[in-house]
Structure 1
Amino acid sequence: MGANAVADIRIAVLGLGEAGSLVAGDLVAAGARVRGYDPTVAAPPGVTETGSEAEAVAGCALVLSLNSASAAVDALRAGLPGAAPDCLWADLNTASPAVKRRLGEIAGAGGIGFADVSLMAPVPGNGLRTPMLASGARAGQYAGLLRPLGARVDVLEGPAGLAAERKLLRSVFYKGLAAAAVEALDAARAAGCEEWLREIIVHELTRADAATLERLVDGSHRHAVRRTTEMQAAADMLDDLGVPPLIATAGKDLLHRLARAQSPLPQGSAG
């Protein structure tokens, strides 16, 4: 896409909160003509402010929906009356694969294209260069429109919902890990040994490799019975410390499920 094509592209950004305003600002800086709509936030400099989703979408080749998962369907329905047949609607909200597929169906019924897009890193500090995954029949077109403007887009071959699935699978691990660290440190603080536990967590994260993952998964299956009892004791301790044992209890419940599902295995003494 040449410089003139970049200057000619019209993009609507729906949702001008932290993420939307940063992306919109970068699009303007890259030379795109950007129209924005947010019922509660003013448009950043260089973005044409509009009074509704349909008004923002009118005349745009690409729509970036960056409001929220709960508002994504309503935003699409409200924007459809303003969309031309060649419009591509990209939903960048963190929603379930089922919601993304539903959005694709609504867009298709309305006669426009759809791309499921997942932002794979925090937008602050990255803006338009936030790594993205895109799926759906029009994912390639999405990448083709935004890459010349500086976006980092990887295309997944597959239906809408696939990008959301990949992001949320990662979230189960990464956000779960973060929650476990927060709960453990809260308990360690209550027990008066927070710095000691911080050093252990940093050490384990720093030395982690492929073997670490295998040890975690294999150990959870092999020692599920004993570890269920251990995590119940941990949950009881957190109760005594005044820290709600949300993650400890969830860990105990998962281990209990593994213990019930597996064939009886010798329980080793190490774990």
Structure 2
Amino acid sequence: MARDRQERGEPMMAKAVGDLRIAVLGLGEAGGAIAKDLVAAGARVRGYDPAVPAPAGVTDTGSEAEAAEGSDLVLSVNSASAAMDALRAGLAGTSPGCLWADLNTAAPAVKRHLGQISGAAGIGFADVSLMAPVPGKGLRTPMLVSGTAATLLAMLLRPLGATLDVLDGPAGLAAERKLLRSVFYKGLAAAVIEALDAAQAAGCEDWLREHISDELTQADAATLGRLVDGSSRHAVRRVAEMQAAADMLDELDVPALITTASRDLLRLLSHR
């Protein structure tokens, strides 16, 4: 019955905060901060990390399974590459009614696979995306959550101070939203870094920093339309412009990774 309720995403009987048993796998910068906040909120927390000792108030354990044993909730906060192994190892210590939440930044397909493994083991699963850097925010880091047990996770963590937005969809949806945003944010950061490296080589870094700062400050809702529409409308001319920019970066001995990628994308747009 517990498994059926979890698979339907229905809430289970809430526990008092002091009775909530939570395991945190991965006690690095993010996991350690979240574990500390859970302890401060009154939860009973067990942790496991092969390289990092448990912070004060967290019961240190010797394995994923030992940390998960008797837990109501397991938070996997290690890395995308370790997420699958952590789940397989931790399941040996879980019992029916436990909820597994994966907070690692992984591809949607990985999250879906984790959810399938959890479901086959009778464990509820939530795909969690941390939507801001954890240091300084800890448990209050904004989170997107999807999966069969997303609603239950929100019921467990919100009383402890967590900020969660539940998406109505399967595991992988929260990861998809975060990674789509990452294409923009990380791509923007990469373009800024490449441009500033080139400006430094050209001897005008301060000028370009001021220019970029002004552009970002003045951006508004209409900026997005201008960027998208302008790129399509003027793609042919801008292909030549970005080729000239790439040639300039070559002369400045600065790798033109983002510049050439922009040129290639504009070339594709010119043929649409």
What TM-score do you get using the length of structure 1 for normalisation? 0.94
> Aligned letter for 1:89?
W
Question: 2:66 matched to which residue of 1?
Answer: 55
Instruction: Give the number of equivalent residue pairs.
Output: 261
Residues 167-195 of structure 1: per-residue CA shift (max 9 Å, x gap): 00000001100110010001000000001
Question: 1:157 matched to which residue of 2?
Answer: 168
CA distance in 1, matches of 2:247, 2:107: 34
Query: Which residue of 106, 129, 140 maps to 1:118?
Result: 129
Question: 1:129 matched to which residue of 2?
Answer: 140
Residue 250 of structure 1 deviates from its aligned partner by: 0.7
User: Is 1:83–2:113 an aligned residue pair?
Assistant: no
User: Is 1:233–2:236 an aligned residue pair?
Assistant: no
> Aligned letter for 2:133?
P
User: Is 1:148–2:159 an aligned residue pair?
Assistant: yes
Residue 110 of structure 1 deviates from its aligned partner by: 1.2
CA distance in 2, matches of 1:158, 1:139: 9
Where in structure 2 are the equivalents of 1:9-48 lying within 5 Å? 9-48=20-59
User: Is 1:182–2:193 an aligned residue pair?
Assistant: yes
Query: Which residue of 198, 218, 226 maps to 2:209?
Result: 198
CA distance in 2, matches of 1:128, 1:210: 31
CA distance in 2, matches of 1:138, 1:112: 9
> Aligned letter for 1:46?
G
Question: 2:150 matched to which residue of 1?
Answer: 139
CA distance in 2, matches of 1:236, 1:91: 44
Query: Which sections of structure 1, spanning at least 5 residues, go unmatched?
Result: 263-271
> Aligned letter for 2:114?
L
CA distance in 1, matches of 2:136, 2:103: 17
User: Is 1:211–2:195 an aligned residue pair?
Assistant: no
Residue 264 of structure 2: SS of its match in structure 1?
helix
Residue 4 of structure 1 deviates from its aligned partner by: 7.5
Which segments of structure 1 move beyond 6 Å, counting only runs of 4 or more? none
CA distance in 2, matches of 1:106, 1:253: 40
CA distance in 1, matches of 2:240, 2:110: 38
CA distance in 2, matches of 1:155, 1:222: 38
Residue 86 of structure 1: SS of its match in structure 2?
coil
Residues 2-37 of structure 1: per-residue CA shift (max 9 Å, x gap): x97100000000001000000000000000000000
Residues 21-73 of structure 1: per-residue CA shift (max 9 Å, x gap): 00000000000000000011110100000000000000000000000000000
Residue 210 of structure 1 deviates from its aligned partner by: 1.3
Query: Which residue of 178, 183, 191 maps to 1:167?
Result: 178
> Aligned letter for 2:59?
T
CA pair 112-4 structure 1, distance change in 2 beyond 3 A: closer
CA distance in 2, matches of 1:199, 1:249: 24
* % identical aligned pairs: 77
Greater relative contact order structure (CA < 8 Å, 6+ sep): 2
Residue 16 of structure 2: SS of its match in structure 1?
helix
Residues 125-149 of structure 1: per-residue CA shift (max 9 Å, x gap): 1000000000011100000000000
What TM-score do you get using the length of structure 2 for normalisation? 0.94
Question: 1:269 matched to which residue of 2?
Answer: none
Residue 201 of structure 1: SS of its match in structure 2?
helix
CA distance in 1, matches of 2:153, 2:254: 46
Residue 109 of structure 1 deviates from its aligned partner by: 1.1
